[in-house]
Amino acid sequence: MRCARARAVANRSPQVGTDDIVHFGRPLTAHLIETGRWLERWGNQPMLVAAGAFHSIYGTEEFRGKAVSVERRSEIQKIIGKEAEDLVYLFCLTDRRALFSGRTDAPYSVPLPSAGICVDLDEPTFTALIELEAANIVDGALHQPDAPPAAGRFWLERFESVRLWLSKGAYHTAQEVLAHWNADTVRVRMRAEGWLNDDKR
């Protein structure tokens, strides 16, 4: 099923320069659209789908490509709404390793290194960030055929540690994709989704 809502929101991202940034061999726009689609497929609310479709436009701690400066947050809020943009801002600035600290009760504290602060999150925000990270990693995994074999195990362990907060769809998709993360299976799936049109192995 095509996720029209995710596409409608994310198709506005080229307006802020995401077509000009490369994300693992394809335009960042493509990664944003697919991340939003995963979130919609898993039955998440429109706010989270919209956040997924813009989740790394300010750059992140790991991905330094910045389509938009955080000084332009008000512009993004007009596109996706304040609640979704607040989540995008957190996702971009948070050291997301803290999401996998093993804490089981709120408040959840995460550092924002570039801002030099830590912030407390309530459980709905923490849950949304975990779900968003799952969509981000799943889509990234499907487009990184040459990732080291240990990468799948690394992320499987982390998502297992936060299984309580993941939707069933997110958890099962992460298991399916990450347990079989190797060059051959990723390329097969990329061809099936139309990202590769050749027969090279």
pLDDT tens profile 37-69: 999 999 999 999 999 999 989 987 766 667 788
**Does any domain span residue 76?**
yes
CATH code of the domain containing 143: 1.10.3210
**Residue from 139, 167, 143, 153 nearest 55 by CA:** 139
**Does any domain span residue 201?**
no
Number of folded domains that form the chain: 1
**Does any domain span residue 200?**
no
**Does any domain span residue 35?**
yes
pLDDT at 201 over 50: no
**Which pLDDT score, from 0 to 100, does residue 200 have?**
42
Average pLDDT value over all residues in the chain: 84
Domain span at 73: 4-192
| Minimum mean pLDDT range among 7-21, 82-96, 99-113, 133-147 | 7-21
**Which pLDDT score, from 0 to 100, does residue 1 have?**
34
In this prediction, residue 2 has a pLDDT band, given cuts at 50, 70 and 90, of very low
Query: Helix or strand or coil: residue 176?
Result: helix
Selected residue with higher pLDDT from 197 and 57:
57
**Which pLDDT score, from 0 to 100, does residue 46 have?**
95
pLDDT tens profile 8-48: 555 555 456 778 777 777 788 989 999 999 999 999 999 99
Q: Map tokens 């399916």 to a residue.
A: 176
**Does any domain span residue 90?**
yes
**Does any domain span residue 186?**
yes
**Which pLDDT score, from 0 to 100, does residue 9 have?**
59
Q: Tell if the pTM clears 0.95, that is, is over it.
A: no
Q: CA distances (Å), 36 to each of 41, 54, 162, in order?
A: 9, 8, 20
pLDDT tens profile 125-152: 999 999 999 999 999 888 887 777 788 8
Give the mean model confidence (pLDDT) for residues 95-108. Answer: 86
Q: Which two tokens stand for residue 138?
A: 């799943």
**Which pLDDT score, from 0 to 100, does residue 193 have?**
62
pLDDT at 197 over 60: no
* % of the chain surpassing 70 pLDDT: 81
Q: Which two tokens stand for residue 159?
A: 């998502």
Selected residue with higher pLDDT from 155 and 180:
155
The answer to whether the Cα torsion of 165, 37, 85, 56 is positive or negative is positive
